[in-house]
Amino acid sequence: MSTDRLVTTYELQLGRRVKLKQPFRQLPAGTEGVIDERTRVAGQRLWFVAWDLEARPLPFDYWRYDKRTTIKHRLRRDGLSFDELGCLEAITT
């Protein structure tokens, strides 16, 4: 795993678009998504990314976790630990 990390608060904000720099959990490099939730699970900080997949695209203006939207659109979301954030690259607009 890359040692480069998204480290600034700005880059880890909810709604931030990101893409994979390398394959991750059966997703190819270049896959884009949105950081849609930050939480703690068993004392560990996690950042959740909703992936913008061809077969299951993100709704227009999606930026924050919403259970109804996630179920309705069958969004794929993955929780990443701080150590796993190195596989992400912030997308600048």
| CATH code of residue 69 | 2.30.30
* Residue where the block lists tokens 């061809």: 54
pLDDT at 37 over 90: yes
pLDDT at 59 over 50: yes
The predicted model gives 42-52 an average pLDDT of 94
Tell me whether residue 25 is in a domain.
Answer: yes
Split at pLDDT 50, 70, 90, the class of 23 is very high
pLDDT at 90 over 50: yes
Tell me whether residue 2 is in a domain.
Answer: no
Question: pTM for the whole thing?
Answer: 0.86
Beta strands in 1-93 (DSSP E): 17-20, 32-41, 44-51, 77-81, 88-90
Number of domains in the chain: 1
Tell me whether residue 4 is in a domain.
Answer: no
- Give the HSE-up count for residue 25: Cα atoms under 13 Å, Cβ half-sphere: 12
Tell me whether residue 1 is in a domain.
Answer: no
Split at pLDDT 50, 70, 90, the class of 53 is very high
Tell me whether residue 54 is in a domain.
Answer: yes
* Beta carbons of 19 and 35 less than 8 angstroms apart: no
Range of the domain at 67: 10-90
Tell me whether residue 3 is in a domain.
Answer: no
